[in-house]
Structure 1
Amino acid sequence: MIPAQTPVERLGLGLAALGRPAYINVGRPDVLPVQRTAQAMRERTRSVLDAAYANGIRWVDTARSYGSAEQFLADWLRERGHGDVAVSSKWGYAYVAQWRIETEVHEVKEHSLERLRTQWAETRTLLGDRVDLYQVHSLTSGSPLFEDMALQHELARIRDSGVHLGFSTSGAAQAETIERAWEIEVGGRQLFSAVQSTWNSMEPSAGRALTEVHTGGWRVLVKETLANGRLAVDPPRELAEIADRHGVSSDAVAIAHVLHQPWADVVLLGPASVEQLEANLAACRVELTDRDLHALETLARDAATYWGERAELPWR
């Protein structure tokens, strides 16, 4: 019998807020170094990775578009020599901001064979064989991947080399994308075996689809557990009241809500500092009551409204 995982063993560290100077997370700018140079962000990433490892986290999620996150992670893995850290990365977006905070475009999306080949080579150069899961970044039901047989077969070659394949989802139609991707087979096998989706107290619309693919054997990773910081910085009254009852901050309750979902295999945290990480980790000792869960369920928003508001968050 496989032993049940403890809450911290289900946590992962996402590097979206650490690998580049600007991102859309609310509450991030106030805790970052005054000068967000590449070296300053490298040091911050190292300190958060060290704290996460010391607390038992053994999964790190990154992407080609997270600025220098893959480089920072590769340097840390080499320096520390940790062989027990699982790594997931993503391809499909290119970081184009050139380390500027104020710029019109920070990243550009392209799901093409050329971009896959280019970015997979870049990731392999930095991380070698440390990548356990390679994901299509923000797959949607309208992505050309669904019709591009050459792209699917190139992905299958990566799969057949021993790397698990997955995809991340965003937007109000996450469930539709998950259901459509489930059907893709190449070489008599499903192309994907994992999915990384947004699910939080405000946006639970993908829950049924995630339950189904988890039951079917896929690994489910959950991102944006704090709604890009909104559940931590300006939490709904109901969430704040639950946090007060448990003696923790609202972010811990929001993360505990995700951990409560039995289909959530890896629950990603996105702290920008060690202090934010420590506050997040309090989720591991929160035991939500039926009363708490009922109150949290009332926070669900219309998916289209949620994603419309998310689209308005500024890069800072």
Structure 2
Amino acid sequence: MPLTLPHGLGFGLAAVARPGYITLGRDEDLGEDRGVEALRTRTHDLLDAAYAQGVRYIDAARSYGRAEEFLADWLAARPDADDVVVGSKWGYTYTANWAVHAERHEVKDHGLATYERQRAETDALLGDRLGLYQIHSVTPGSPALTDRKLHARLAEAAAGGLTVGFSTSGPAQADAIRAALAVTVDGEPLFRTVQSTYNALETSAGPALAEAHDAGLTVIVKEGMANGRLAGPHAPAALRTVAEETGLTCDAVALALILRQPWADVVLSGAATRAQLASNLSAATARLDDDQVAALAALAEEPRAYWERRGRLPWH
């Protein structure tokens, strides 16, 4: 039976399961103690809060430090959370050795050998709780789009009950999405989900995500806060104005804008504190009028400029 992802807001572990990440303001959010146990406790506390507020999709990845480990621990301690859908990703290897500053934080490889190794690592931690396994950050030139041996192994996993998807990054996300939609095994589409960056500043993937949704894929939106650029202290003036008009926080407005998209099935919160999480989740009840939406639409940047700026964000 195909996996059904709970629509609405989900929770991603990218910012809390490793000591270094590129979200603005993270120094203040996490403080000085970035030890394994401190972040394990923080992750579990946020998972408790997310579950209590109705979140039922949790997003991890092999490269998110100890995200899968922390999540597995939490699931083992919360048998009542058997309705949580778990997604993870393979294709990047975490290499920072639990350091905030490292020469390389992660190494990308979409080859079959990496899939086999990381699938075994994920299975050892999450076992049959894993519902969705995605290729991490596919770009148009990724070998994952053309490697027929890899496709065959992914199709085997799908036949065994695992939902197979992909995520995208970079200024050519739309091209990557359309290329992935064309990937078939024995005449059947291989991928059932797509996870892409989409936010008020980076909207270029929107038309391709609509096409993916129309083709039957579940669409997951990541980086809805643009790595903190749309949060209160860093938000552009137009976003702050709409927040004041609606009585909402900037982050709630930013996520509400995405939730308006008819193709957006799951929108991820990447909160690092309980207060951020509650504020993010309030987007589910936010209402924006046409003038406010138009004002926010004017914030969109040229994709290459957006991704170049993202690439300059410091790990901290």
| TM superposition score category, shorter chain reference | over 0.9
Instruction: Give the unaligned 5+ runs of structure 1.
Output: none
- Aligned-partner Cα distance in 2 for 1:56–1:292: 28
Map of 1:28 onto structure 2: 26
How far apart are 1:154 and its partner, in Å?
1.1
- Aligned-partner Cα distance in 2 for 1:29–1:165: 35
Q: Classify the secondary structure of the residue corresponding to 1:264.
A: coil
Map of 1:60 onto structure 2: 58
Map of 1:289 onto structure 2: 289
Map of 2:40 onto structure 1: 42
- Aligned-partner Cα distance in 2 for 1:37–1:312: 25
Map of 2:188 onto structure 1: 189
Paired amino acid for 2:266: V
Q: Residue 182 of structure 1 contacts residue 190 of structure 1 at CA under 8 Å; is this kept in 2?
A: yes
Paired amino acid for 1:91: W
- Aligned-partner Cα distance in 2 for 1:102–1:172: 26
1:208-287 mapped onto 2 (5 Å cutoff): 208-232=207-231, 233-287=233-287
How far apart are 1:72 and its partner, in Å?
0.2
- Work out the number of aligned pairs and report it: 310
- Aligned-partner Cα distance in 1 for 2:145–2:287: 41
Q: Residue 33 of structure 1 contacts residue 40 of structure 1 at CA under 8 Å; is this kept in 2?
A: no
Paired amino acid for 1:274: R
Q: Classify the secondary structure of the residue corresponding to 1:197.
A: strand
How far apart are 1:69 and its partner, in Å?
0.4
Q: State percent identity of aligned pairs.
A: 51
Map of 2:14 onto structure 1: 16
Q: Classify the secondary structure of the residue corresponding to 2:49.
A: helix
How far apart are 1:9 and its partner, in Å?
5.0
- Aligned-partner Cα distance in 2 for 1:24–1:293: 27
Paired amino acid for 2:275: E
Give the direction of change, closer, same or farther, for the CA distance of 1:9–1:178 in structure 2 (3 Å limit): closer
1:23-77 CA-partner distances (Å, limit 9, x unpaired): 0011222011421100000000001000000000000000000000000000000
- Aligned-partner Cα distance in 1 for 2:239–2:160: 45
1:151-162 mapped onto 2 (5 Å cutoff): 151-162=150-161
Give the direction of change, closer, same or farther, for the CA distance of 1:211–1:9 in structure 2 (3 Å limit): closer
- Aligned-partner Cα distance in 2 for 1:57–1:314: 30
Once superposed, what is the RMSD of the aligned Cα atoms?
A: 1.2
Q: Residue 220 of structure 2 contacts residue 264 of structure 2 at CA under 8 Å; is this kept in 1?
A: yes
| Structure 1 position 89 matched with structure 2 position 88 | yes
Following TM superposition, where does structure 1 have runs of at least 4 consecutive aligned residues deviating by more than 4 angstroms? Answer: none
Instruction: Give the unaligned 5+ runs of structure 2.
Output: none
